[in-house]
Structure 1
Amino acid sequence: PGTLAYLLFDLVHLDGRDLGAVPLVDRKRLLASILAPHETIRLSEHTVGDAPDVFAAMRELGIEGVVMKRATSTYQPGRRSPDWLKVKALQQQEFVVGGFTRPKGARAGFGALVVGLYERDREGTDRLRYAGHVGSGFDDASLAEVSVALDPLVTDRSPFAVEPKTNEVATWVLPERVAEVRFASWVTGEDGEPHLRAPVFLGLRDDVPPSECRREAPARATTAVRRRPAAIRPSAPAEPPAPVAPLATPRAASAAIDPRDVATPTEMEALEGIRREGTWELQGRRLRLTNLDKVLFPAVGLTKRDLVRYYVSVGPWLLPYLRDRAVNTNPRPDGVGDPGFWQKQVPTHAPPWVRAWHYEGRHDRPHDYVVCDTLPTLVWLANLAAIDLHPWTSRIHAPDQPDWCLFDFDPAEGAGFEEVVQLALALRTTLEHLGLQGFPKVSGQTGVQVYLPLAPGHTFERSRAFAQEVGRLISAALPDLVTWDWEVARRTGKTRIDYTQNAVNKTLAISYSVRPTARAAVSMPVTWDELENDPDLRPDRWTILDALERIAAVGDLFAPVLTLRQELPNLGGAG
C-alpha cells in the first residue's frame, strides 16, 4: 500500500498574528521556514511563471487542472477572488447516442443519455463501446428536443457491443444520432473501460455521421481560423480617412480599481451568513435582501443569492460603465422563464440613497431614472431580480450627446454565429479603413455588438446616420448575409445590422451584465483575434460562474470605450 502525504500550501496565522494581508509569496516563504523535514507532512511546491505557459504545460502533461494564484494575493476567507483561479483543461467531442435512462423526480423526458464511441476490434469490425451517462447541460427545451429526436429510434436491443450497466432503467435507441459533449477527463470504470468524467451535453450534431465518432486525442493547438473579409471601402467618402489612432489597450484586471467599487472580505462574509433573507450592511448602506434562495435560473439551479454575489464581485469592472448614466432594467422576480417587466421609473420603495435623474425628453414622457453609480445601488437592483442592466449611451449631464456609436448584429432564426462573426469582421476592416477603432463583445444571447467610442459633441442623429451608412456598405459587400427587414418572420437565415440603437433611451445590455438566459450567460468583451480565430467562441460562452475568471485572465478589454475619443468622418449618406 502507498503512503499518504499531508500537503501544506498556505500559512494564515503565525504566533498569534493574522497573516491574511501578507502577500502569498511571503506567506509561503514563512511556511517553508517553520516546516521541519517530515516523511508525510510536506510543503506543496509551486511553479512561478505566466499563466498561459503553465496552462499549456498542464495540457501537455495530461493533468486535469491546476490552481493559479497571483504571487502578491492576500488571503480572503469565504470569498471567491480573481487572484486565485482553478483552471481545468476540459475536453470536447462527439458521441453516439445509444439510449437514455428514466428521469427522476419532476424532470421530464429522460434522465441521462447513454453514449458511446466506435472502436475497431481485432476482426476489423466497428463496435459501439459504452463511454458514459450524460445528464447535465439540459434545460426543458433541450430535453424536449432530444426526446422528439430519439422517440422514433427506440428499439428493444442495446446497440453497444457490451450492454452497459446503467444507473436507471434504460431505453435503447438505434445509434443514429450524435451528441456534442464537453467533459473533464477520461477515468477507468468498474468494468476496466474508459468512461467520461463530468460530462455536459452541448447539443445534437446533424453534420457528423455516427460512424466517425471515435475517441479523440486532445489537440495541442487549434488550426481552425475564421476567414477575415477583405476591407470594405466607402465608394467616395466626403473626407479622407483619418490616421489610425494609437492602439487603445485594455485595463488589467487589478489596475485602476476604484476602492469604492469593492466589497471588503468582512462584508462578503456577512453576505454569506444571511440565510433566506436579512439586512446586509454594505459601505455604510443597509440593504434588505429577500428571497435569496429563489431560483432564477432553473436549468442550472442558480439563485438570487448567486446573482447578488456575482454583481458584488464584478462591481469594480461593471460600475465604470454605469456611472453617470440612466439605466433601464427588466426585473424578473419569477426567474428567466418569466418575461418580467421593463422598469424606467425609480420605484417608490427605493432607498433614499439611490441616485435618481429626472428627464423630460422630446419623444418620451418624464421619468425619474435610476443612476447606478455605487455598489449598494447595484446590489439593490440585483435584489429586485434586475438580471440585465441597460445603461444609456449618453451621460446625464449631456443626454443628447452619445459617448458610443453602436453596431448590433442581430441574427434571425437560421442565421449561424459564423455569419454574425463574418459581418462583425467586415465592420472591423471598414472601421480600420476610416482610421477608427471599435470594440466587440458577445451579447450573452445570440449576437455580437461593437461599440465605437466617440469624442464629445456628437449627436444621436450623426451616430445613427453613420452606423446606417456603414451597415449599408457591409450589406452591399455581403448581401447574402444581411437583411434590412424589420419583421422577424421575414429575416430567416440572415442577420440584421441594427443601427437604430443609436438614439436617446435606446439601450443594450452592457459588458459584464448577466443576461436572462437558461445558463445565466454574461455579455463579455472579446478581442478581434478571438472573434476571428477562436472556433469555440459562442455568444453565450461565459456565465456568472466563470466570468470573473475570464476578467482575471484578460483584464477589462472594454476599458478603451471609456477613454478613447474619436471623430466620425462624413460618409456619403451620414451627415
Structure 2
Amino acid sequence: MSGEAVTLDIGGTEVTVSSPGKVFFAERGETKLDLVRYYQAVAGPLLATLGGRPLLMERYPSGAGGKSWFQKRVPKSVPDWLRTTVVATPNGTTSDALVAADLAHVIWAVNLGCLGFHVWPYRAETPEVTDELRVDLDPSPGVTFEQVRQAAWLARELLTELGIEAHVKTTGSRGLHLYVRLEPRWDSYQVRAGAVALARALERRHPGLVTAQWWKEERGARVFVDFNQNAPHKTVFGAWCVRPRAGAQVSAPIGWDELDTVEPDTLTIATVPALVAERGDPWRGMDERPQSLEPLLEMSRADLAAGLMDAPWPPVYPKQPNEPPRVAPSRAKRD
C-alpha cells in the first residue's frame, strides 16, 4: 500500500503528494515522501544553485528502475501558481518548461515521479545570457574514479592559473562536474567555445589521462572533457538532485578538501542532509564571485589562429561555421 495522498505546506503553497508511501528506491526502501523530505532538508543550497532556472524532468512514476522518459514540456493541466518558461532549441522548436521558482515547484515535479532534474545554464528571465560553465569529466570505459579525481585536480589547476574559480560536485554516477559561475556577459556559443579551449588545453598538458576527442573511437581509456555539455539548449544533471538509482545517490556539491576522500555512492538521500547540517553548503558564496570567461576565450582565439577548426557538434545541431566534417574518422577513411 502506498497510502493516501498528503497535502503539504511548502513555503506557503499547498502541494499534494499522491501515494506518499510508494517505494521509489529499492535498496533501502525509500519512498516518494522520503524524497520530498530530502528536498525539504536541502532546500537552501538546492535553490541557491538551480533556483530560477528551467528544468528538464526525468520521470520514473514507478520508481528508480521502472519505466521512464524525459519531459521538457509541463502537462497541460497544472496549478495556477506553477511558473513555466519557453525554451527553444537551435532548430527553433519551443517548449513550456518548468522553472525552479521555489521549492514548491520542485516538490510538484517529484509528485509526478521526477527522479532527475536536468538544469539549463541560464535564468528564466535572461535566456540570452549563459552564466554557468559546466566541465563534465566523463570516464571512458576502463577509466577509474581515481583517474577522474586526478583529472578534476588538473582542471582546477589550469583554471586557477587563468584566474578562474571552479567548484566541484559528484554526478551521482561515475564522473565529476566542475562548475564556474560566470559574469552575465556571454552567450552559450561563447561558453561552449571556452569549454572546447579548456578541453584541448588539458589534453595537450595531460595526453595520457585527458582527452578532448569527440569521437569515442579516438578517446581510449582516458577522461573525456565533454565540452558539448555547454552547447546551446544542453542541460546538465542538477546539483543536489537525486539520481534514479536504487541507492538514491545524489549529485552532491563537495569542497575541494573533500575530493581526495569522497566516495560518490555513499552520498545519498539518507546521508547528504546530515552533511549539509554539519558543514553547510560547499558552494556558498559562488553567486557573489562571478568569474570571467575571457581567459578561455583568448585560448580559443589562439587555437583558431593556429589553424584548429571548431570541435564537432552533436548530430542534432545545425552545421556550424568552421566545424569539421561531422563523421567518425574511421568512417571517413572508408568513404
Band the TM-score falls in, shorter-chain normalisation? 0.7 to 0.9
Partner of 2:26: 298
CA contact (8 A) 1:322 1:371 kept: no
* Deviation at residue 298 of structure 1 after TM alignment: 1.3
The answer (yes or no) to whether the contact 1:453–1:564 under 8 Å persists in 2 is: yes
- Residue 88 of structure 2 contacts residue 233 of structure 2 at CA under 8 Å; is this kept in 1? no
Distance 1:564 1:345 in 2: 33
Q: What do you get for the CA RMSD once the two structures are aligned? A: 2.1
Match of 2:179 among 427, 434, 451: 451
Contact 1:465 / 1:574 at 8 angstroms: preserved in 2?
Answer: no
Q: Per-residue deviation at 1:293? A: 1.7
Among 514, 524, 538, the alignment partner of 2:242 is 514
Counterpart position of 1:462: 190
Q: 2:300 maps to which residue? A: 573
Higher relative contact order (CA 8 A, sep 6+): 2
| Greater Rg over alpha carbons, structure | 1
Gaps spanning 5+ residues in structure 1: where? 1-273
C-alpha contact 2:56 2:72 (8 A) present in aligned 1: yes
Which of 496-505 and 476-485 deviates more?
A: 476-485
CA distance in 2 between counterparts of 1:359 and 1:448 reads: 26
Shift of 1:484: 3.9
Instruction: Find the partner of 1:381 among 104, 109, 117.
Output: 109
Percent identity over the alignment?
A: 32
Structure 1 residue 450 displacement after superposition: 0.4
Match in the other structure for 1:372: 100
Cα distance in 2, alignment partners of residues 361 and 487 from structure 1: 23
Instruction: Determine the structure 2 residue equivalent to 1:561.
Output: 286
Q: Which amino acid aligns with 2:166?
A: G
* 1:231-280 CA distance string (max 9 Å, x none): xxxxxxxxxxxxxxxxxxxxxxxxxxxxxxxxxxxxxxxxxxx9432333
**TM-score scaled to structure 2, two decimals?**
0.83
Query: In the aligned structure 1, how far is the partner of 2:146 from the partner of 2:90?
Result: 40
Alpha-carbon distance in 2 for matches of 1:336, 1:491: 31
- 1: distance between equivalents of 2:51 and 2:88? 20
In structure 2, relative to structure 1, the CA distance for the partners of 1:573 and 1:384 (3 Å cut) is same
- Residue 337 (structure 1) aligned with residue 65 (structure 2): yes
Label 1:492 to 1:332 Cα distance change in 2 as closer, same or farther (>3 A): farther
SS at match of 2:265: coil
Contact in 2 for aligned 1:441/1:511 (Cα 8 Å): yes
Greater fraction of residues in helix: 2
**TM-score, normalising length from structure 1?**
0.49
Shift of 1:323: 2.2
Contact 1:451 1:561 in 2 (8 A): no
Cα offsets for 1:164-187 (capped at 9, x unmatched):
xxxxxxxxxxxxxxxxxxxxxxxx
Query: 2-side partners of 1:333 and 1:488: how far apart?
Result: 33
4+ residue runs of structure 1 moved beyond 6 angstroms?
Answer: none
CA distance in 2, matches of 1:348, 1:424: 42
Question: What CA distance in whole angstroms lies between the structure 1 residues aligned with 2:39 and 2:286?
Answer: 21
Count of matched residue positions in the alignment of Structure 1 and Structure 2? 299
One-letter amino acid of the structure 2 residue matched with residue 414 of structure 1: G
Is residue 2:40 matched to residue 1:312? yes
Partners in 1 of 2:10 and 2:3 — Cα distance?
17
Q: Which runs of 5+ in 2 are unaligned?
A: 303-335
Alignment match of 1:544 (pick from 252, 269, 274): 269
1:433 is aligned to 161
2:209 matched to which residue of 1? 481
- Deviation string for 1:114-155 (max 9, x for gaps)? xxxxxxxxxxxxxxxxxxxxxxxxxxxxxxxxxxxxxxxxxx
